[in-house]
Protein backbone atom coordinates (compact mmCIF):
# COMPACT_ATOMS: atom_id res chain seq x y z
CA UNK A 1 0.00 0.00 0.00
CA UNK A 2 1.39 3.37 -0.98
CA UNK A 3 2.11 5.87 1.78
CA UNK A 4 -0.39 8.36 0.33
CA UNK A 5 -3.13 5.74 0.65
CA UNK A 6 -2.29 5.49 4.35
CA UNK A 7 -3.60 9.03 4.81
CA UNK A 8 -7.11 8.10 3.65
CA UNK A 9 -10.07 7.69 5.96
CA UNK A 10 -9.98 4.04 7.11
CA UNK A 11 -13.62 3.51 6.16
CA UNK A 12 -12.90 4.74 2.63
CA UNK A 13 -9.95 2.36 2.42
CA UNK A 14 -12.09 -0.48 3.80
CA UNK A 15 -14.68 0.21 1.09
CA UNK A 16 -12.00 0.35 -1.64
CA UNK A 17 -10.48 -2.97 -0.59
CA UNK A 18 -13.89 -4.59 -0.21
CA UNK A 19 -14.86 -3.45 -3.72
CA UNK A 20 -11.67 -4.99 -5.09
CA UNK A 21 -12.37 -8.22 -3.21
CA UNK A 22 -15.90 -8.35 -4.61
CA UNK A 23 -14.38 -8.54 -8.09
CA UNK A 24 -11.70 -11.09 -7.16
CA UNK A 25 -13.09 -13.49 -4.56
CA UNK A 26 -15.31 -16.31 -5.78
CA UNK A 27 -17.38 -16.73 -2.61
CA UNK A 28 -18.43 -14.30 0.11
CA UNK A 29 -15.92 -11.46 -0.24
CA UNK A 30 -17.67 -9.87 2.74
CA UNK A 31 -16.95 -12.83 5.04
CA UNK A 32 -15.13 -11.87 8.21
CA UNK A 33 -14.00 -13.58 11.37
CA UNK A 34 -15.77 -12.22 14.45
CA UNK A 35 -13.94 -12.68 17.75
CA UNK A 36 -15.79 -12.18 21.01
CA UNK A 37 -15.05 -12.94 24.65
CA UNK A 38 -17.12 -13.95 27.62
CA UNK A 39 -17.18 -11.64 30.63
CA UNK A 40 -14.45 -13.92 32.04
CA UNK A 41 -12.24 -13.37 28.97
CA UNK A 42 -12.68 -16.73 27.21
CA UNK A 43 -12.44 -16.04 23.45
CA UNK A 44 -14.57 -17.45 20.66
CA UNK A 45 -14.35 -16.95 16.88
CA UNK A 46 -16.66 -17.61 13.92
CA UNK A 47 -17.38 -16.32 10.43
CA UNK A 48 -20.09 -13.75 9.81
CA UNK A 49 -20.95 -11.54 6.82
CA UNK A 50 -20.35 -7.80 6.72
CA UNK A 51 -23.69 -6.33 5.66
CA UNK A 52 -23.25 -2.61 6.16
CA UNK A 53 -20.65 0.15 6.38
CA UNK A 54 -21.96 3.38 7.85
CA UNK A 55 -21.54 6.50 5.70
CA UNK A 56 -19.38 9.46 6.65
CA UNK A 57 -21.10 11.62 9.22
CA UNK A 58 -22.91 8.77 10.96
CA UNK A 59 -23.22 9.30 14.71
CA UNK A 60 -21.45 6.04 15.59
CA UNK A 61 -19.73 4.98 12.39
CA UNK A 62 -19.11 1.28 12.15
CA UNK A 63 -19.71 -1.99 10.32
CA UNK A 64 -22.84 -4.08 10.73
CA UNK A 65 -23.61 -7.81 10.74
CA UNK A 66 -26.75 -9.76 11.62
CA UNK A 67 -27.43 -12.86 13.65
CA UNK A 68 -29.83 -14.67 15.96
CA UNK A 69 -29.93 -12.61 19.15
CA UNK A 70 -30.16 -15.78 21.26
CA UNK A 71 -26.92 -17.14 19.78
CA UNK A 72 -23.69 -17.61 21.67
CA UNK A 73 -22.03 -14.66 19.94
CA UNK A 74 -24.93 -12.37 20.77
CA UNK A 75 -24.87 -13.37 24.44
CA UNK A 76 -21.13 -12.71 24.62
CA UNK A 77 -21.53 -9.31 22.97
CA UNK A 78 -24.18 -8.31 25.49
CA UNK A 79 -21.97 -9.43 28.39
CA UNK A 80 -18.77 -7.94 26.96
CA UNK A 81 -19.56 -5.42 24.18
CA UNK A 82 -16.21 -5.34 22.42
CA UNK A 83 -15.11 -7.34 19.38
CA UNK A 84 -12.39 -7.89 16.82
CA UNK A 85 -13.03 -8.52 13.12
CA UNK A 86 -10.77 -9.90 10.41
CA UNK A 87 -11.36 -9.80 6.67
CA UNK A 88 -8.87 -11.88 4.66
CA UNK A 89 -8.68 -12.12 0.90
CA UNK A 90 -6.20 -14.77 -0.18
CA UNK A 91 -6.56 -13.93 -3.88
CA UNK A 92 -5.55 -10.32 -3.19
CA UNK A 93 -3.01 -11.12 -0.47
CA UNK A 94 -4.68 -8.60 1.80
CA UNK A 95 -6.35 -8.51 5.16
CA UNK A 96 -7.99 -5.93 7.40
CA UNK A 97 -8.23 -6.12 11.17
CA UNK A 98 -10.75 -4.03 13.12
CA UNK A 99 -11.22 -3.70 16.86
CA UNK A 100 -13.84 -1.71 18.72
CA UNK A 101 -16.96 -1.43 20.81
CA UNK A 102 -20.28 -3.02 19.92
CA UNK A 103 -23.82 -1.65 19.95
CA UNK A 104 -27.11 -3.08 18.72
CA UNK A 105 -28.29 -2.16 15.24
CA UNK A 106 -31.70 -0.50 15.17
CA UNK A 107 -34.91 -2.44 14.58
CA UNK A 108 -35.43 -0.45 11.37
CA UNK A 109 -32.01 -1.52 10.08
CA UNK A 110 -32.69 -5.16 10.97
CA UNK A 111 -36.13 -5.06 9.34
CA UNK A 112 -34.75 -3.56 6.13
CA UNK A 113 -31.94 -6.07 5.79
CA UNK A 114 -34.12 -9.05 6.75
CA UNK A 115 -36.63 -8.08 4.05
CA UNK A 116 -33.83 -8.13 1.46
CA UNK A 117 -32.90 -11.75 2.18
CA UNK A 118 -34.01 -14.71 0.09
CA UNK A 119 -37.35 -16.06 1.29
CA UNK A 120 -35.81 -19.43 2.19
CA UNK A 121 -33.22 -17.70 4.37
CA UNK A 122 -35.98 -15.76 6.12
CA UNK A 123 -37.88 -18.99 6.75
CA UNK A 124 -34.68 -20.55 8.04
CA UNK A 125 -34.38 -17.80 10.63
CA UNK A 126 -37.73 -18.90 12.05
CA UNK A 127 -36.80 -22.59 11.94
CA UNK A 128 -33.37 -22.38 13.57
CA UNK A 129 -32.54 -21.97 17.26
CA UNK A 130 -29.03 -20.89 16.32
CA UNK A 131 -26.16 -22.26 18.43
CA UNK A 132 -28.44 -24.46 20.54
CA UNK A 133 -28.30 -28.27 20.50
CA UNK A 134 -30.07 -30.03 17.60
CA UNK A 135 -31.02 -33.66 18.09
CA UNK A 136 -31.06 -34.54 14.38
CA UNK A 137 -31.11 -32.83 10.97
CA UNK A 138 -34.68 -33.98 10.40
CA UNK A 139 -35.86 -31.77 13.25
CA UNK A 140 -34.55 -28.67 11.50
CA UNK A 141 -36.13 -29.77 8.21
CA UNK A 142 -39.48 -30.35 9.96
CA UNK A 143 -39.35 -26.91 11.56
CA UNK A 144 -38.52 -25.37 8.18
CA UNK A 145 -41.57 -27.08 6.66
CA UNK A 146 -43.70 -25.77 9.52
CA UNK A 147 -42.44 -22.23 8.87
CA UNK A 148 -43.20 -22.61 5.16
CA UNK A 149 -46.75 -23.66 6.02
CA UNK A 150 -47.17 -20.89 8.59
CA UNK A 151 -46.21 -18.14 6.13
CA UNK A 152 -47.59 -19.72 2.95
CA UNK A 153 -48.64 -16.93 0.60
CA UNK A 154 -47.55 -14.23 3.07
CA UNK A 155 -44.46 -12.13 3.61
CA UNK A 156 -42.00 -13.58 6.13
CA UNK A 157 -41.48 -11.05 8.95
CA UNK A 158 -38.31 -10.71 11.00
CA UNK A 159 -38.34 -13.00 14.05
CA UNK A 160 -38.14 -11.10 17.36
CA UNK A 161 -34.88 -12.89 18.25
CA UNK A 162 -33.11 -11.89 15.02
CA UNK A 163 -31.18 -8.63 14.72
CA UNK A 164 -27.90 -6.90 14.11
CA UNK A 165 -24.80 -5.53 15.79
CA UNK A 166 -22.61 -2.58 14.91
CA UNK A 167 -18.87 -2.74 15.61
CA UNK A 168 -17.55 0.82 16.01
CA UNK A 169 -13.79 0.52 15.42
CA UNK A 170 -11.19 2.45 17.31
CA UNK A 171 -8.38 0.55 15.58
CA UNK A 172 -7.78 -0.65 12.01
CA UNK A 173 -4.85 -2.50 10.50
CA UNK A 174 -4.50 -2.85 6.71
CA UNK A 175 -2.08 -5.64 5.80
CA UNK A 176 -0.68 -6.12 2.29
CA UNK A 177 1.50 -9.10 1.39
CA UNK A 178 4.91 -8.11 0.01
CA UNK A 179 7.85 -10.15 -1.33
CA UNK A 180 10.15 -11.92 1.12
CA UNK A 181 7.65 -11.43 3.96
CA UNK A 182 8.42 -7.71 4.10
CA UNK A 183 4.71 -7.01 4.35
CA UNK A 184 3.18 -3.56 4.49
CA UNK A 185 1.13 -2.86 7.64
CA UNK A 186 -0.71 0.43 8.07
CA UNK A 187 -2.64 1.22 11.24
CA UNK A 188 -5.32 3.76 12.06
CA UNK A 189 -6.00 4.54 15.73
CA UNK A 190 -8.85 6.77 16.78
CA UNK A 191 -7.78 10.01 18.42
CA UNK A 192 -10.77 12.13 19.40
CA UNK A 193 -12.81 12.84 16.29
CA UNK A 194 -10.02 11.83 13.91
CA UNK A 195 -7.50 9.12 13.14
CA UNK A 196 -3.78 8.80 13.78
CA UNK A 197 -1.98 6.73 11.17
CA UNK A 198 1.25 4.80 11.36
CA UNK A 199 3.21 1.78 10.17
CA UNK A 200 4.16 -1.50 11.85
CA UNK A 201 7.17 -3.67 11.18
CA UNK A 202 6.17 -6.81 9.25
Q: Does residue 40 lie within any of the structural domains?
A: yes
Range of the domain at 22: 5-111+162-200
CATH classification at residue 67: 2.30.110.10
194/31 Cα distance (integer angstroms): 27
Q: What is the reported pTM? A: 0.92
150-160 per-position pLDDT tens digit? 999 999 999 99
**CA–CA dist 197, 81 (Å, integer):** 25
Give counts: helices (H), strands (E), the chain.
5, 9
Checking if the pLDDT of 26 tops 80, the result is yes
Give the pLDDT of residue 60: 86
Question: For residue 130, is it within any domain?
Answer: no
Answer yes or no: is 11 within a domain: yes
Q: For the segment 99-122, what is each residue's pLDDT rounded down to a tens digit?
A: 999 999 999 999 999 999 999 999
On the question of pLDDT at 4 being above 90, the answer is no
For the chain, give the percent of residues with pLDDT over 90: 90
Q: Tell me how far apart the alpha carbons of residues 116 and 98 are, in angstroms, rounded to a whole number.
A: 26
The answer to the question of residue 131 being in a domain is no
Q: State the catalytic residues.
A: 181
Tell me if 152 is assigned to some domain.
Answer: no
Task: Name the domain count of the chain.
Answer: 1
Amino acid sequence: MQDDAAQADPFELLTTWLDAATKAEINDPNAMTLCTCTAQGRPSARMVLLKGIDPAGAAARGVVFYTNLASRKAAQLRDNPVAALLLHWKSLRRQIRLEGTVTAASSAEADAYFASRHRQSRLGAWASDQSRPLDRRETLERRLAEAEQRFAGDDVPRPPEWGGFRVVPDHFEFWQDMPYRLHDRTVFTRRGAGWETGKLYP
